Structure 1
Amino acid sequence: MPELTFFLGGDVMTGRGVDAILPTPGPPELRERAIRDARDYVDLARSVNGPVPRPAPPAWPWGEALGLLDALRPDVRMVNLETAVTGRGAHAPAKAIHYRMHPGNLACLTAARLDVCALANNHVLDFGPVGLTDTLDALAGAGIATAGAGRDAASADAPARVPLGQGRDLLVWSVAAPSSGVLPSWAATPGAPGVAYCRRSRPPRRTRWPGGSPPWPGRRTGCWSPCTGATTGGTTCRPDTSTSPTG
């Protein structure tokens, strides 16, 4: 199998002060204890680091990273997007921190030529189901595949598919877990949008994995999924549960 090079970025947060300096800032209201207006973050950054352009070009928040990416030429570019792309919705209750970027600033993401945004995280529903569906629409319209959230459970659980050429695809799954701050109520259902949500706490006892090695567990959760991560060749990883345990 030919070698693949990945750019894996996380957590990408383009809300609050970042959104405030871009050409189409969204509503600045926050629900944080110390700061209630996203523009205050810009003032704080200016007081420490000097002038901040307003409006800033869409690529400006990436700094030198885009030039490095172009030099490295990764085959696939993926980030964990911890920001709702919406100008609508109400702040999710019982949360202190909310991230959203106005859809008019989507060029901030397309500037990085992203292939996939992982969305199974604790901010994608900061502005409710309407904020999530706006995010899905905005990213799809920009040609960026998404994993880990959807309009229903089936689409949330489905992988993002990245064509690699020569009949090969890269499949990417994204799964949320309780220990990462994702509420169980955010889980997608057959009839409602939400995130792919992991409820299994340990791998099955009798499993042989393709290639002899299991995919990695959730780093902080011990949460396992037989298809967490990425798989090449256009095939999914299906456990063979008829054989002896691997340990």
Structure 2
Amino acid sequence: MHSVALTGDVMLGRGIDQILPHPGDPAIHECHARSALTYLALAERRNGPIRRPAGFAYVWGDALPALRSAAIRIVNLETSVTTSDSPEAKGIHYRMHPDNIGCLRAAGIECCVLANNHVLDWGRGGLLQTLGTLAQAGIATAGAGRNAAQAEQPAVMPLSAGGRLLVLAAGTTSSGIPAGWAATATQPGVHLLQEPLSAAVPRLATLLRAAKRSGDIAVASIHWGPNWGYDIPRELRDAAHALIDEAGFDVVHGHSSHHPLGIEVHRNRLILYGAGDFINDYEGIEGYEEFRGDLTLLYLPRLSAATGELLGLTLVPFRIGRFRLNRASAADAGWLRDTLDRESLRFGTRIGMAADGTLDAAWRGAA
């Protein structure tokens, strides 16, 4: 059995970068703010003072033991790791100073998915510095590269019981990735999928077949869909099923939504349509309160070493406060349980809550 830790969006830039040991230039280019310190001030106004500098492990807070319990940790890193001062022509830009890479190391992150709508916020130079910084830190990347061939290559990580974990990452324009960010034969960028998604599955199948060996477990990590709302379009569900049925993936790790979406287990394989944000600096920002964006989940699937099938799924709930992951209260964990159970029921998945406040999944066909 293999235990994997999956998260949705991890944003370590802007206000969070400013509390880490090596804050970068706080200048940002937003219509409502010109300094990343504005977001720090909003968070402190909401939940109280935040000590500076905070240690590299600070933001992971109460999530560290659960993260360390897994064999491999995979996050969608929605932050450019760069000192570049060449912002793209867009409304929001996230960057973390490269000297703060210890923040990812502190949580033992083995793989950063980069196919998202913020990795090129500071231009192609910013992407190249991100790739170099992560490589130097020994952290695998997937979904972006110095050219299309590299962006399409899966990250490959050995598993202790033998075999390897492959993470093949890509994104869609529906998540906000500009079409011009696509990597080409000669240009750095992200692995941008052809749409409709049904047209992209054969190519992903070809890429996986070229990389996968006997005993490997394959994760499709896809940045797709809007930030808010529980609706899962039929196109997304069909694509997720095809990634398993036709392409041969064992896990579909979807992200982009700012809150967790319904969970499906298809042919005993896990589909996360939207993992939700995991870390961000959004405290104090008003709007969309009904979705409880302050509540986050760490997903801990247990996968068969022989088949890649899902043997069990634990979800650990947290609440973001003072730029830190804090274990969710019983009431907050109950809210997440009720919401995810409601949204997952359409797929035949039920979400329960254990005495320790963790959540678990049960599904049709489970042993």
Normalised by the length of structure 1, the TM-score is: 0.82
Structure 1 portions without partners, runs of 5+? 234-247
Separation (CA, whole Å) in 2 of partners of 1:134 and 1:141: 10
SS in 1 for 2:73: strand
CA distance 1:202–1:168, change in 2 (3 Å) = same
CA distance 1:202–1:90, change in 2 (3 Å) = closer
* Structure in which a larger fraction of residues adopt strand: 2
1:7 is aligned to 2:5? yes
Provide, for residues 87-127 of structure 1, a one-character-per-residue CA deviation record: whole Å limited to 9, x for no partner.
Answer: 1141111x111100000111111111011100000000000
Residue 77 of structure 1 is matched in structure 2 by 73
1:100 is aligned to 2:95? yes
Residue identity matched to 1:44: L
- Correspondent of 2:41 among 43, 55, 60: 43
CA distance 1:21–1:152, change in 2 (3 Å) = same
Question: Contact (CA 8 Å) 1:174, 1:229: kept in 2 or not?
Answer: no
SS in 1 for 2:33: coil
1:17 is aligned to 2:23? no
Residue 239 of structure 1 is matched in structure 2 by none
Residue 59 of structure 1 is matched in structure 2 by 57
1:189 is aligned to 2:184? yes
After TM superposition, list the pairs within 5 Å mapping 1:75-154 onto structure 2. 75-93=71-89, 95-154=90-149
SS in 1 for 2:18: helix
Q: Deviation of residue 44 (structure 1)?
A: 1.6
Question: Contact (CA 8 Å) 2:170, 2:222: kept in 1 or not?
Answer: no
1:198 is aligned to 2:193? yes
Indicate the structure whose relative CO is greater, using CA pairs within 8 Å and at least 6 residues apart.
Answer: 2
- Correspondent of 2:24 among 10, 23, 26: 26
User: How many corresponding residue pairs?
Assistant: 223
- Correspondent of 1:179 among 166, 174, 177: 174
Query: Percent identity over the alignment?
Result: 46
Structure 2 portions without partners, runs of 5+? 210-219, 226-232, 253-303, 306-367
Provide, for residues 49-92 of structure 1, a one-character-per-residue CA deviation record: whole Å limited to 9, x for no partner.
Answer: 1121111111111121112323xx11210000000000114111
CA distance 1:229–1:53, change in 2 (3 Å) = farther
SS in 1 for 2:159: strand
Deviates more, 1:96-105 or 1:43-52: 43-52
CA distance 1:216–1:143, change in 2 (3 Å) = closer
Residue 344 of structure 2 is matched in structure 1 by none
* Structure in which a larger fraction of residues adopt helix: 2
CA distance 1:229–1:137, change in 2 (3 Å) = farther
Separation (CA, whole Å) in 1 of partners of 2:176 and 2:74: 21
Q: Deviation of residue 166 (structure 1)?
A: 5.2
Separation (CA, whole Å) in 2 of partners of 1:62 and 1:200: 35
CA distance 1:146–1:227, change in 2 (3 Å) = farther
Separation (CA, whole Å) in 1 of partners of 2:157 and 2:127: 22
Residue identity matched to 1:126: D
SS in 2 for 1:199: coil
1:168 is aligned to 2:163? yes
Residue 242 of structure 1 is matched in structure 2 by none
Normalised by the length of structure 2, the TM-score is: 0.56
SS in 2 for 1:80: strand
